[in-house]
Chain A
Amino acid sequence: MVDTLRLTAEEATGLIERGEVSGAELHRAYLDAIAERDPELHSYLCTVEQPDGAGVPIALKDVISTRGVETTAASKILAGYKPVFDATVAARVKDAGLPLLGKTNLDEFAMGSSTENSAYGPTRNPWDPSRVPGGSSGGSTAAVAAGLAPWALGSDTGGSIKQPAALCGVVGLRPTYGTVSRYGIVAFASSLDQVGPIAKTVRDCALLHRIIAGRDPVDSTTVDLPEPIELPEAEDLKGLRVGVPTELNEAEGIEPGVSEAAKRTIELARELGAEVGECSLPRSVEFGLPCYYLIAPSEASSNLARYDGVRYGYRAEPNGDVRSMYDRTRREGFGDEPKRRIMLGTYALSAGYYDAYYGQAQKVRTVIRDEHAAAFEDFDILVSPTSPTVAFELGARTANPLAMYAADLLTIPSNMAGLPGLSIPCGLSEGLPVGFQLIGRQFSENLLFRAGHALERALSFDYVPERYR
């Protein structure tokens, strides 16, 4: 029997190709693992019994539309909604023969950093079930960490792949904006949303990214990849210029254990042949978070307007005119965090405030992009911890939205610049995984994979949570 806790997607592909295991057997093995470990973790919102492909199965975050399979974005307002079409990424993994294992939990509409904002209950961290898996793709990262899926897709707006990957000790890529289709992805903030792969290894991420990336004619914001995605082989970092942005590595709130693990990894990069130097992103780090919390809620307030109870999903019992039906549907259907962001965004877009808020934030976004571009004149990649902290206790931040928002402090700046970022596990602090973030230029995913792969080999991080070994 296969050990789903250890098996990588690449190894699983090999098993299937050599006929040692069938796709259906593999699918069943994961369903068995889910039955065993997921009652405690709640990483899945639903599972699919019958595999619809003979390849290595996959879990999809529940913002990804799947034809005939309920897609809720972890919101009550989409309860019972079964799309009549596949998202482009769902179609691409299906075309590649990867059967769907199930849909994974998330913060409602991908709004959150802990997966506690799910209308269907939180997901727990496989390393310590009293702690959160991060978010918003916490269901996908927990499933991969706990051997409940060999790989998964998540989505990342302000850090929703990188941060939970870090907290669950797995690898996650936020691709360059515009390289992966958003068609069929329940939208949160359109100018920031990007789907990306989550897996146990960098090579698995590269394999999955190769399947999903590339221009999609029905998503006008996508572009052709300048070069095909390659599987990384190199074991050293010779000639790579690694920049260490001071503000990202010495930000207030970074836990000492996290900081130490990141520093050790930077030292390791030097040993592998990289040229390491310091650099600075002062304005990106100072303004990134506040600008993000203007732009993302503004777009969300508009994107979430379609949930009105008229055509699909939840509708409050009719009682009066259409206006009151809207009001009640949305009051009863949305959780607190979507409501908070709809209000923030509606305010920021209002006449008389647009220039001061949304308009200004867009200008600052250009400043952030320019500041990153300047750093990339001297360096090939920039590195930092992915998250300031390791996984925190459930409930520790739910009463304080600002503390929750700070979880994305280190991931947001490069997201605002539209740049790709890879998070790899780089060690433990207090027995919990620490994530290491590698940021590249636009379309430099191959370079990120190469650097991530070399570091991963040198780090020899054991991705199986200690309690399952």
Chain B
Amino acid sequence: MSTGWEPVIGLEIHVHLKTQTKMFCRCPVAYFEPPNSQTCPVCLAFPGALPVPNRKAVEWTILLGHALGCEIPGQAIFHRKNYFYPDNPKGYQISQYDEPLCVNGSFAVPEEEGDHIVGIERAHLEEDAAKTIHVGGAEGRIHGSDRSLVDFNRAGTPLVEIVTRPDLRSPDEAKAFLQLLRQTVVELGISDAEMEKGSLRFDVNVSVRPEGSDELRTRTELKNMNSFNFAAKGIEREVRRQVEIYESGGEVEQETLHFDPGNESAPPLRSKEEAQDYRYFPEPDLVPLEPEPEVVERLRAELPELPSARIRQLEAEVGFGLAEGLVTSGRDALYSRTPGEHAAVANVVMNELAATGVDPASVNAEELGKVIEQRGEIPRAAFTEALAASGSPGFSADSYLAEASISDASELDPVIDRILSANEGQVAEYRGGKEGLLGFFVGQVMKETGGKANPKIVNERLREKLQG
């Protein structure tokens, strides 16, 4: 980050709820059905059709509100947000405006030095739009296309929008918040929160200010964020851009920036928000929501242990970084089930096992523990194979553990001697103090033995010979 400037970042996150039916009608929520097959008079906005709120969606939003530390007011109101677009069949979206279901929350993101508290302005419930596909013309954009097709299967599916306060101060903080929020939503069981499927989407509001100041300057909105890493990069770039503008005496303009995820070097597409007036007014087809206190309390009681709490619990065992990684990737359950030395298990579960793509939920933890325990005694190839197979039904560590590694010094010494004499330059460097070269020699021995050498013995023998 440029010195002297502080980024001010806020997020708006859209989460698709995985209810069985849509927000205001009984059509199934289904994403991969033929176009317009999941529709009815309500979600197609036929004359006279009326909305009926989905009780499950309301309850899940309250549950999420609890997880975000929100207040649940005694009354929430649906509003109409009016605008014309073919993906908006009624000509208005039913959303919430000044009386949402959840307000004034705070969400604790664990950091190495204490919790970072992110204020939650609100979380509200609304319906999603249909999907438009522009045929012909450039890149599926509406301008220049030959015609547009609309698929109403998604129209009216329930969506929660979470709005944070501008409490994030760096791209990394934003990323950490988003990862923890995503994991929280997944564990509440209310959404898949998969960015690839579009069930989690977010926009980022960015401004900068001189360090130490508490003013809020003009912000820009970054849309089209499709991954956490991409968002972090986008924020970084936007912060740099704004700082450059201020430092060269300019003013940042309020605008919306669309990044092209496929081409990070391309400049953002700009769209001046043409003073959109959504003419919000209370939806007269619905009565105010008045969540019964018993329901609100029941949902509070149903709240599972949150990921943030588990990060703190694991931190003592494996350190903050691994704890955060395990929990936000949903791998901590496997870690906890697997017997063995904490750091070793955590590292394998978080790194080597993750690299194999094996679903942690399917892994037999007892057997995995055995593999990790014997890691130093078996060939590396056998270890990697064992990890890759650890998710298969009936997986047993035994066959991999039986694969003996070359541990006999008399067998290894000739190989080691050969390698040392073939690399005299490196040997001299090592002896001159460049001890990092040990790994190089280990690698050579492993290569020579086809990965079957016992790494512990190889290390011991190499050290001894190099010292000699």
Within 8 A of A (CB), among B40-60: 41, 44-53
- Is A85 a contact of B41 with CB atoms below 8 Å? yes
Given contacts A302-B80, A302-B82, A302-B91, contact A351 B277 (CB under 8 A): yes
Interface string of A278-312 (1 = CB under 8 A from B): 00000000000000000000110110111010111
Q: How far is the CB of A297 from chain B (nearest CB, A)?
A: 12
B residues within 8 A CB of A299? 281, 284
- Is A308 a contact of B91 with CB atoms below 8 Å? yes
Q: How far is the CA of A312 from the CA of B45 in the complex (A)?
A: 10
- Is B41 a contact of A84 with CB atoms below 8 Å? yes
Q: Answer whether residue A349 sits at the interface, using C-beta atoms and an 8 A cutoff.
A: yes
A residues within 8 A CB of B48? 63, 65, 83, 87, 182-187
Known: A308-B86, A322-B86. 6 other contacts (CB 8 A): A73-B47, A190-B284, A221-B284, A305-B90, A322-B142, A350-B277
A residues within 8 A CB of B279? 301-302, 346, 349-351, 354
B contact residues, total (Cβ < 8 Å): 30
B residues within 8 A CB of A63? 48
Q: Answer whether residue B230 sits at the interface, using C-beta atoms and an 8 A cutoff.
A: no
Q: Closest A residue to B277 by CB, please name it.
A: A351
Interface string of B121-160 (1 = CB under 8 A from A): 0000000000000000000001000001010000000000
Q: Answer whether residue A217 sits at the interface, using C-beta atoms and an 8 A cutoff.
A: yes
Q: How far is the CA of A73 from the CA of B44 in the complex (A)?
A: 18
Q: Answer whether residue B466 sits at the interface, using C-beta atoms and an 8 A cutoff.
A: no
Q: Answer whether residue B307 sits at the interface, using C-beta atoms and an 8 A cutoff.
A: no
A residues within 8 A CB of B343? none
Given contacts A349-B82, A350-B277, A358-B281, contact A83 B47 (CB under 8 A): yes
B residues within 8 A CB of A183? 48-50
Q: How far is the CA of A386 from the CA of B47 in the complex (A)?
A: 30
Q: How far is the CA of A350 from the CA of B53 in the complex (A)?
A: 27
Given contacts A220-B52, A312-B46, contact A305 B91 (CB under 8 A): yes
B residues within 8 A CB of A358? 281
Interface string of B60-82 (1 = CB under 8 A from A): 00000000000000000000101
Within 8 A of A (CB), among B16-62: 41, 44-53
- Is B281 a contact of A186 with CB atoms below 8 Å? no
Given contacts A310-B86, A358-B281, contact A84 B47 (CB under 8 A): no
Q: Answer whether residue A461 sits at the interface, using C-beta atoms and an 8 A cutoff.
A: no
| Residues of chain A at the chain B interface (Cβ within 8 Å) | 63, 65, 71, 73, 78, 81, 83-85, 87, 182-187, 189-191, 217-221, 298-299, 301-302, 304-306, 308, 310-312, 321-323, 326, 346, 349-351, 354, 358
A residues within 8 A CB of B53? 220
Q: How far is the CA of A342 from the CA of B86 in the complex (A)?
A: 19
Q: How far is the CA of A218 from the CA of B90 in the complex (A)?
A: 17
- Is A78 a contact of B82 with CB atoms below 8 Å? no
Q: How far is the CB of B55 from chain A (nearest CB, A)?
A: 12
Q: Answer whether residue B391 sits at the interface, using C-beta atoms and an 8 A cutoff.
A: no
Q: How far is the CA of A323 from the CA of B51 in the complex (A)?
A: 27
- Is A305 a contact of B52 with CB atoms below 8 Å? no
- Is B92 a contact of A220 with CB atoms below 8 Å? no
Q: Closest A residue to B147 by CB, please name it.
A: A318
Given contacts A302-B279, A322-B142, contact A218 B50 (CB under 8 A): yes
Q: Answer whether residue B246 sits at the interface, using C-beta atoms and an 8 A cutoff.
A: no
Q: How far is the CB of A430 from chain B (nearest CB, A)?
A: 39
- Is B281 a contact of A219 with CB atoms below 8 Å? no
9 A–B contacts from the bound complex (CB under 8 Å): A81-B47, A85-B41, A183-B48, A183-B50, A220-B287, A308-B86, A322-B86, A323-B84, A326-B84
- Is A182 a contact of B89 with CB atoms below 8 Å? no
Q: Closest A residue to B39 by CB, please name it.
A: A311
Q: How far is the CA of A63 from the CA of B48 in the complex (A)?
A: 8
Q: Answer whether residue B245 sits at the interface, using C-beta atoms and an 8 A cutoff.
A: no
- Is A311 a contact of B89 with CB atoms below 8 Å? yes
A residues within 8 A CB of B281? 298-299, 302, 349, 354, 358
Q: Closest A residue to B51 by CB, please name it.
A: A220
Q: Answer whether residue B333 sits at the interface, using C-beta atoms and an 8 A cutoff.
A: no
- Is B285 a contact of A306 with CB atoms below 8 Å? no
Within 8 A of A (CB), among B278-296: 279-281, 284-287
Q: How far is the CA of A450 from the CA of B41 in the complex (A)?
A: 39
- Is B82 a contact of A187 with CB atoms below 8 Å? no
Q: Closest B residue to A191 by CB, please name it.
A: B284
Q: How far is the CB of A327 from chain B (nearest CB, A)?
A: 10
Contact of B47 among A65, A220, A326 (CB under 8 A): A65
Given contacts A217-B52, A310-B150, A322-B86, contact A78 B286 (CB under 8 A): no
Q: How far is the CA of A218 from the CA of B42 in the complex (A)?
A: 10
Q: Across the A-B interface, give the 7 residue pairs with the lowest CB-CB distance, nearest first.
A: A305-B91, A190-B284, A349-B279, A191-B284, A184-B48, A186-B47, A306-B45
Q: How far is the CA of A71 from the CA of B45 in the complex (A)?
A: 15
- Is B47 a contact of A190 with CB atoms below 8 Å? no
- Is A190 a contact of B91 with CB atoms below 8 Å? no
Q: How far is the CB of B85 from chain A (nearest CB, A)?
A: 8
B residues within 8 A CB of A312? 46
